[in-house]
Amino acid sequence: MPASGSERPAFEALGIGADLLRSVSDIGYESPSAIQAEAIPPLLEGRDLLGQAQTGTGKTAAFALPLLTRLDLSLRKPQVLVLAPTRELAIQVSEAFQKYASHLKGFHVVPIYGGQDYHVQFRALKRGVHVVVGTPGRVMDHMRKGSLGLEYLQCLVLDEADEMLRMGFIDDVEWVLEHIPNAHQTALFSATLPGRICKIAEKYLHDPVQVSIRVKTSTVDTVRQRYWMVSGLHKLDALTRILEVEDTDGIIIFVRTRRMSTELAERLEARGFAAEALNGDMQQKLREVTINRLKSGKLDVLIATDVAARGLDVPRISHVINYDVPHDTESYIHRIGRTARAGRTGDAILFISPRERRLLKAIEKATRQTIERMDLPSYALVNDRRMGRFKQKITDALGKGENLELFTEIIESYRIEHNVPSLEIAAALASLVQGDTPLLLKGSDRKSKKDKEKKNDRFSGEERPVRQEKDIHSQRVRPGMDLYRIAVGRTHGLKPSRIVAVISAIGGVTDKDIGTIDLHEHFSLIELPLGMPEDIFDELKGTRVCGQKLKISLMKSGSAPRRSSERKRKFKKDSGEKKRKRKDKQEGKGKKKGKEKGKKKGKEKREKKGKEKQGDG
Q: Which residues bind ligand ADP (CB under 6 A)?
A: 29, 32-33, 36, 53, 55-61
Q: With contacts defined by CB under 5 A, name the span among 52-60, 283-291, 359-367, 445-453 that binds Mg ion.
A: 52-60
* Shortest CB 34 distance to ligand ADP, Å: 9
Residue 84 CB, nearest approach to Mg ion (Å): 8
Given ligand ADP, Mg ion, none, residue 520, with its beta carbon under 5 to 8 Å by kind, binds: none
Least distance to ligand ADP from the beta carbon of 339, Å? 17
Q: Is the dihedral of CA 269, 273, 274, 275 positive or negative?
A: negative
Q: Which is nearer to Mg ion, 59 or 234 (CB)?
A: 59
Distance CA 52, CA 328 (A): 26
Question: Which phi and psi angles does 230 have, rounded to 5°?
Answer: -65, 115
DSSP per-residue letters across 49-102: EEEE--TTS-HHHHHHHHHHHT--TT--S--EEEE-SSHHHHHHHHHHHHHHTT
For the chain, the distance separating the N- and C-terminal CA atoms, rounded to the nearest angstrom, is 39
Instruction: Give the HSE-up count for residue 139: Cα atoms under 13 Å, Cβ half-sphere.
Output: 34
Q: What does 185 interact with, of Mg ion, ligand ADP, none (CB < 5 to 8 A by kind)?
A: none
Question: For residues 59 and 335, which CB has a smaller minimum distance to Mg ion in the complex?
Answer: 59
363 binds, among ligand ADP, Mg ion, none (CB under 5 to 8 A by kind): none
Spatial separation of the C-alpha atoms in residues 530 and 505, rounded to whole Å: 18
Residue 33 contact among ligand ADP, Mg ion, none, beta carbon within 5 to 8 Å by kind: ligand ADP
Question: In this complex, which beta carbon is closest to Mg ion, that of residue 203 or of residue 214?
Answer: 214
With respect to ligand ADP, which residue has the nearer C-beta, 55 or 296? 55
Nearest partner of 331 among 309, 358, 357, judged by Cα:
309
Q: What is the largest CA-CA distance in the chain?
A: 110
Nearest approach in angstroms of CB 335 to Mg ion is 25
The option from Mg ion, ligand ADP, none interacting with 58 (CB < 5 to 8 A, set by class) reads ligand ADP
Angle at 272 between CA 270 and CA 274, to 5 degrees: 100
Please tell me the distance from the alpha carbon of residue 409 to that of residue 444, in angstroms, as a whole number.
40
234 interacts with, out of Mg ion, ligand ADP, none, CB within 5 to 8 A per kind: none
Q: Rounded to the nearest whole angstrom, what is the least distance from the CB of residue 60 to Mg ion in the complex?
A: 5
Nearer to ligand ADP, 57 or 79 (CB): 57
Q: Kindly state the smallest distance separating residue 331's Cβ from ligand ADP, in Å.
A: 24
- Compare residues 97 and 351 and give the one whose CB is closer to ligand ADP: 97
Q: How far is the CB of 10 from ligand ADP (least distance, A)?
A: 11
User: Shortest Cβ distance from residue 53 to ligand ADP (Å)?
Assistant: 6
CA distance 15 to 284: 52
**Pick 188 or 275: Cβ nearer Mg ion:** 188
Which residues, including other chains, have CB under 8 Å from residue 168's CB and lie 6 or more apart? none
Based on CB atoms, which residue is closest to Mg ion, 59 or 338? Answer: 59
User: How many helices, marked H, and strands, marked E, lie in the chain?
Assistant: 25, 20
Least distance to ligand ADP, CB of residue 459, Å: 45
Q: Three-state SS for 56?
A: coil
Please count the other Cβ atoms lying within 10 Å of the Cβ belonging to residue 552: 26
Q: What residue is closest to Mg ion based on CB?
A: 59
Complex with Mg ion: residue 59 or 319, whichever CB lies closer: 59
Residue 375 CB, shortest distance to ligand ADP, in Å, is 32
Calpha distance 589→570 (Å, rounded): 28
Closest listed residue to residue 254, CA positions, set 200, 302, 313: 302
Only segment of 55-63, 395-403, 497-505, 603-611 that touches Mg ion (CB under 5 A): 55-63
Stretch that binds Mg ion, among 5-13, 56-64, 110-118, 180-188 (CB under 5 A): 56-64
* Contacts (CB under 5 A) with Mg ion, residues 344-363: none
SS3 500: helix
C-beta separation of 137 from 172 below 8 A = yes
- Give the number of residues in contact with Mg ion, rule: CB under 5 A: 1
Beta bridge partners of 301: 251, 275
Q: Binds 32, which of ligand ADP, Mg ion, none (CB < 5 to 8 A, cut-off by type)? A: ligand ADP
CB 213 within 8 A of CB 2: yes
> Residue 463 is which amino acid?
E
Q: Are strands 544-545 and 548-549 parallel, antiparallel or unpaired?
A: antiparallel
Per CB under 5 A, residues contacting Mg ion are 59
